[in-house]
Amino acid sequence: MADSIASPWLTIVGIGEDAADGLSAASRAALEQAQLVMGAARHLALLPGLSAPSREWPVPFADGIPLLLAERGRKVVVLVSGDPFWFGAGSSVTRDLAPGEWIAHPAPSTFGLAAARLGWALQGCTCLGLHAAPVQRLRPHLAKGRHILVLVRDGEAVAGLAAYLVERGFGASTLHVLEALGGPRERVRSVEAQALGFDDIRHPVAVGIEVAGVGDALPATSGLPDDLFDHDGQITKSPLRALTLSALAPRPGERLWDIGGGSGSVSIEWLLAHPANTACAVEADPSRAGRARANALALGVDRLELVLGRAPQVLPDGRPPDAVFIGGGLSDGLLDALWQRLPTGTRLVANAVTLESEALLARWQGEQGGTLMRIELADAAPLGTRRGWRSRYPVVQWSVVL
């Protein structure tokens, strides 16, 4: 284990709107001993009369990290909102520091204060930070009766949130607009999203959402309805997608490569399976890649990565995947490349429709093992004055662990 620094040079102090009266004894002691205090202009303004020199943290936030690291060895206090490690700046500030170099003194988080004002059980709420994220991230959480706590940038963002709820059919949701919680400017007002008319919302602001309305909630199972995805026909259809996701078996924090991404439906459902999951789709057609990106945004998983090109000539860089899905471009060359590059234990699922690709999978399954399954589906359809079964193209699915 690496030696830690005996005394931390950096103290991260969480402050609320009542900073003048609400600082802990440890936070006050750190400020008294500081040789430099860094923080946003709003935070510095909450602490007039600092004895140490102060420096305003720059925008964008990342530009302040090198300035902070250059002060290593001096007693530095960084001011942040509330709890530094609950949708806060703490992890960004400490990412390049050893554990012994820093200490943090959190204040009550905005989420905790909001739950206390509304009487909501915090462990039952969905908590989201949308300061710099699209409002569509709400989509997977919009279900009647759910409680959502959201941090937003300003009053304009609250209006955008309300408009999005109306657009999705959840205009009857109650919005609790919570301004400057914990300080003398605190204000809490409630209104239906479809009736929001506040034009004087003050920063900092959070919103509590009691979801109501006639909008469609996303099912929590795999195999979402096909009409949730914009596509040109290149989509793994819902029943087959459910079987494919079952074979891929996403686990929290895992990474997927989706080769021949098409509409992005498999990648998107992989991401919906857990908020810590990541996925990268490889797609040769620019228009399809654009559709996949738009579908991911619409369904609240804008973190989908896309690589434009044809595998195996183009494959994602960085962290290797835990699972790979081949939905297009299946060939000996692609499988050879994957076998050479992927680590032992990677799960691979490939779907084949043509006789040629079926034969290829049968050969590889004979050599490498795994499970080969033929999937045949049929839909009821008109047959004269009655109904009969209309068969879909059968699909052969190979699942294997490298």
- Both tokens assigned to 305: 């990565």
Domain boundaries, the chain: 10-108, 111-210, 226-401
- The pTM (predicted TM-score) of the whole model is 0.91
Specify the pLDDT at position 6.
Answer: 53
Which residues of 246-318 form beta strands (DSSP E)?
255-259, 278-283, 305-308
Domain 226-401 superfamily per CATH: Vaccinia Virus protein VP39 (3.40.50.150)
Peptide bond into 204 cis (omega under 30): yes
Q: How many CB atoms lie within 10 A of CB 3?
A: 7
pLDDT (tens digit per residue) in 2-31: 444 458 999 999 998 887 677 889 999 999
- Both tokens assigned to 176: 């609790």
Q: Please, is 228 exposed, middle or buried when counting C-beta atoms within 10 Å of its C-beta (0-12, 13-18, 19+)?
A: middle
* Residue 234 to residue 246: CA distance in whole angstroms: 20
Report the Cα–Cα distance between both ends of the chain, in Å, rounded.
Answer: 34
Contact 138, 160 (CB under 8 A): no
* Residue 230 to residue 288: CA distance in whole angstroms: 9
- At the topology level of CATH, where does 10-108 sit? Cobalt-precorrin-4 Transmethylase; domain 1 (3.40.1010)
Beta bridge partners of 209: 148, 175
Contact 282, 260 (CB under 8 A): yes
Reference 350, options 333, 337, 335; nearest CA is 335
Contact 224, 265 (CB under 8 A): yes
The class level of CATH for 111-210 reads alpha beta
Task: Give pLDDT < 50 ranges for the chain.
Answer: 1-5
- Both tokens assigned to 149: 């706590």
